[in-house]
Structure 1
Amino acid sequence: MWGIVLRYQDEISLSRQIFLSFKERILTGQIPQGEALPSTRELAKGLGVSRNTVCEAYDMLLAEGFIVSRQGAPSRVAEGLYLDTYRKVKLPTEIKKDKPPILWDFKTGQPDLSLFPWPLWSQMIRGAANYLPIKQLEYTGPKGYQPLCEEIAMWLLRSRSMEVNPEDVFITAGATQALHLLVDLLHKKEHAFALENPSHPGIRTVITDKGYPLQWMPVDEQGANISFLEGKAVSAVYVTPSHQFPLGSILPAGRRAALIRLAIENDFYVIEDDYDSEFRYSGSPVSPIYSMDSSHVVYIGTFSKTLFPALRLGFAVLPKPLQAKWRHYRNFMDVQNPILEQAALAEFLNKRKMDKHVQHMRRVYGEKRKFLLSSIEHAFGNAVRPWGDASGLHVALQFPGMGFGKQFVRDSMEAGIRVYPLTQYCPAQNNHKDKLLVGYGHLSHVQIQEGIRALYQLMARET
């Protein structure tokens, strides 16, 4: 009746199905304005449902203004409801070609999640749910869970020898959110943000999407060349000094000091992204720039790679002059992070489970890195040169005389290999064309060996 077909096994109630059917027919003009609808008794009989079900549907139509009703008169369709754009045109389904499966995925920044202590983490989440004070379930503000801020300050002291006041620690949804906030907070009109070249495309995208100008600092085997900033109008400088992404170099003390002097003289801040600093396989962790001067450095970190990416918890250590504005911006972005995860992480740090996990994973990743380089040497001989310090979850490989572009990416995907030309991280696609970025943290020894062999075979076919 009236083109209404009811689905009795559907999760949507019968009354709402009737409402939706009338709504669609009214908006598409199948039932014109002013048209009288059947009485509730008549429609109920025609559809084989109770009158109460139809009355519910009519009440919905009346409440949302699709019909008008007067005592003693039939309900009629309200005026001005026809929407030509509401018509849904069914397009022919595109037949998609099946893509070959990725057998060897050398993506970067991916930890080995199989070795994370999930039972222990689950226990801490349950503990937070059971023992967290009710007051903590209210809005607690943009700074973050204070016990977690205190534990992060202690963790930085233990792992980096950084002396940090917990009041300067602000919890974020990973490093990406910190960058979004800082870019708006530090922007100065007609001043550029200075980035390393090459660098992570994420920070570049955050800045350019906001329409702010960029200034590039070339990167060599000693990190960013700070001299390129002299005489430039700068909003802020973003660097990855402990393990430059993606080339892996360490910024030496002389360049760090020069950067701090420029920041003080020109009144800008340095955004220090301590990328991959937990996983250094030769010697102690590299000291952060923050330890040299905390007045002009914003230190940001994340637990995405030390624990697991979906955790989405990071932090920023902010100089006092930036904190009020940060609170304002964060308050009107999303207020705060989920409290249970913050409480569980605070406990994870407090019980030194983080220390134990990082020590274990440092050994595991160090062995994987050695095995990767040995597999590369076995397949390619001495024709490949690794770049950077022995740290992190990826390595940059230089293949002298080779060039890797978009066609190589397509060919490698066809061969079941996901690998990243370093040109993808450069603003100009003609730089570092002979380098590939190879991630290994999440791969087993067998996957590494087979993947490198497959990569060698692919490159042998193309040369």
Structure 2
Amino acid sequence: MWGIELQKKSKISLARQIFLSLKQRILTGEIAQGEELPSTRELAKGLGVSRNTVCDAYDMLLTEGFIVSRQGALSRVAEGLHIVQKEVVSLKEHKKEHVPVRWDFKTGQPDLSLFPWPLWSQMIRHATNTLSAQQLEYSGPKGYEPLCQEIAHWLMRNRSIDVNPEDIFITSGATQAFHLLVDILYKEDYAFALENPSHPGIHTVLQDRGHLLQWMPVDQQGANISCIRDKDISAVYVTPSHQFPLGGILPATRRAALIRLASEKDFYVIEDDYDSEFRYSGAPVSPIYSMDSSRVVYVGTFSKTLFPSLRIGFTILPKPLQAKWKHYRNFMDVQNPVLEQVALTEFLRKRKMDKHIQHMRRIYAEKRNVLLNAVEHSFCNAVQFWGDASGLHVALQFPGMEFTKEFMLSCQNAGIRIQAVSQYCSVQNNHTDKLLMGYGHLNNTQIRKGVKALFQLIAENSSQGLALK
């Protein structure tokens, strides 16, 4: 009746099925505006359902304004509801056959199989059982205060920097920090200075907003800041402890020069310290923040040390920026979920973080050695290593070679996930002889077989002119 077909076994109630069917016919014009609907008794009899079911459906239509009703008269369809729906023309796409990834050298991926999941689950349960009703309310844009205090203690233990917990603000990872800092530090007609090459996270944010960019070339010692001395700068973004992606460590002379320039030209330095915990020769590199906390915004994350989906990072903010930060964060998402913050607080307080990092540093050092040995065994002296003393990836330079788009497509078709350094450059013809190899998430066998597969592919493509200049 009325084109309504009821599905008795559906998870949707009969009343809602009637409502949805009539609503759709009203919107398409199959039931005209002003047209009378059958009485609830008549429609119930025609559909073989109870009158109460139809009454419920009519009540839904009335509540949402699809029908009007007067006492003693039949319900009518309201005016102005007909919507002409345009036909969507779909373009047929040729589906490419998906090639499974057999050797995955993606960067920035920790070994999640070695994270102490039972301990973390225990801390999550403890947090669930101990949180008060008041702690489950909105807490504001700064973050869980005990976590800020434990991060300050942890930074002192691991970086030897003295941080006031009042200056620590919890974020949803480093990416959110970049979004906020770009808005806070922006000056009209002033450029943001970035390393070239650099991680796409921050320069994508800047490009999406249409802000000016000033690129700083990178060598084996990190960013060369001489090119920004005479420029109008909003802020400078650097990865000084382990430059991404080339791995250099910014020397003290360049750090001091950058701080002097920031003071002279009144801008802030954004220091992204994304993975310096994993250093394999000596202690972690001291951050620029330890040289001058008044001009440096320090951004840290737990994505590499714990697990990426945790989405907890932190920013150490100079006092003049804190009011703006609170305002922007309040109208972005207010705060991070409190449960994970409480668990992470315990993880830090009980020194489980310290123990986990020490354990993983030994594991990653072994994987790094396996990778370097495998590369040397396959390629002999044809490869130079960049940034192999820290982090979870290595940059490999192949002098005389050029890794073209065709070559990268060959890698994809061969099941090798690997990245060219040139894709992180402002101009695609820079650093075309370098590849990035992430290894943190791989086991030793995967590393050796993956390097061998890459060697064979490069040899094949070189003979075809796809990877040679």
TM-score by length of 1: 0.98
- What is the identity, as a one-letter code, of the residue corresponding to 1:205? T
Give the SS at the match of 2:279: coil
Q: Deviations over 1:117-139 (max 9, x none)?
A: 00000000110111122211111
> Which residue does 2:30 correspond to in 1?
30
> Which residue does 1:393 correspond to in 2?
392
**Is residue 398–residue 434 contact of structure 1 (8 Å, CA) maintained in 2?**
yes
> Which residue does 1:15 correspond to in 2?
15
For residues 230-249 of structure 1, the aligned pairs below 5 Å read 230-249=229-248
Please identify, of 344-353 and 383-392, the stretch whose mean Cα deviation from structure 2 is larger.
383-392
Please identify, of 7-16 and 184-193, the stretch whose mean Cα deviation from structure 2 is larger.
7-16
> Which residue does 1:58 correspond to in 2?
58
For residues 394-413 of structure 1, the aligned pairs below 5 Å read 394-413=393-412
Give the SS at the match of 1:84: coil
For residues 361-380 of structure 1, the aligned pairs below 5 Å read 361-380=360-379
**Is residue 244–residue 275 contact of structure 1 (8 Å, CA) maintained in 2?**
no
Deviation at 1:389, TM superposition (A): 4.4
Q: 4+ runs of 1 displaced by more than 3 Å?
A: 87-95
**Is residue 192–residue 237 contact of structure 2 (8 Å, CA) maintained in 1?**
yes
Q: Distance in 1 between matches of 2:59 and 2:93?
A: 41
Give the SS at the match of 1:202: helix
For residues 145-164 of structure 1, the aligned pairs below 5 Å read 145-164=144-163
- What is the identity, as a one-letter code, of the residue corresponding to 1:382? N
Deviation at 1:56, TM superposition (A): 0.7
Q: Distance in 2 between matches of 1:325 and 1:414?
A: 48
Q: Distance in 2 between matches of 1:261 and 1:177?
A: 28
Give the SS at the match of 1:396: strand
Deviation at 1:94, TM superposition (A): 5.3
For residues 63-102 of structure 1, the aligned pairs below 5 Å read 63-85=63-85, 89=88, 91=90, 96-102=95-101
TM-score by length of 2: 0.97
Aligned: 1:425 with 2:436: no
**Is residue 184–residue 324 contact of structure 2 (8 Å, CA) maintained in 1?**
yes
Give the SS at the match of 1:344: helix
> Which residue does 1:43 correspond to in 2?
43
Give the SS at the match of 1:431: coil
Please give the root-mean-square deviation of Cα atoms over the aligned residues, in Å.
1.2
Deviation at 1:406, TM superposition (A): 2.0
For residues 161-172 of structure 1, the aligned pairs below 5 Å read 161-172=160-171
**Is residue 27–residue 81 contact of structure 2 (8 Å, CA) maintained in 1?**
yes
Q: Distance in 2 between matches of 1:454 and 1:248?
A: 24
- What is the identity, as a one-letter code, of the residue corresponding to 2:428? Q
Q: Deviations over 1:312-367 (max 9, x none)?
A: 00000001111111111101110000000000000000000000000000011111
In structure 2, runs of 5+ residues without a counterpart are 463-469
Q: Distance in 2 between matches of 1:50 and 1:401?
A: 81
Change beyond 3 A, Cα 1:91–1:236: closer
Q: Deviations over 1:282-336 (max 9, x none)?
A: 1110000000000000001000110000000000000111111111110111000
Aligned: 1:278 with 2:277: yes
Aligned: 1:3 with 2:3: yes
- What is the identity, as a one-letter code, of the residue corresponding to 1:140? S
Deviation at 1:460, TM superposition (A): 1.1
> Which residue does 1:214 correspond to in 2?
213
For residues 101-120 of structure 1, the aligned pairs below 5 Å read 101-120=100-119
Deviation at 1:381, TM superposition (A): 1.3
Deviation at 1:88, TM superposition (A): 6.0
Q: Distance in 2 between matches of 1:304 and 1:7?
A: 48
Q: Distance in 2 between matches of 1:72 and 1:195?
A: 73
Q: Distance in 1 between matches of 2:4 and 2:376?
A: 70
Deviation at 1:93, TM superposition (A): 7.1
- What is the identity, as a one-letter code, of the residue corresponding to 1:138? E
In structure 1, runs of 5+ residues without a counterpart are none
Q: Distance in 1 between matches of 2:101 and 2:8?
A: 43
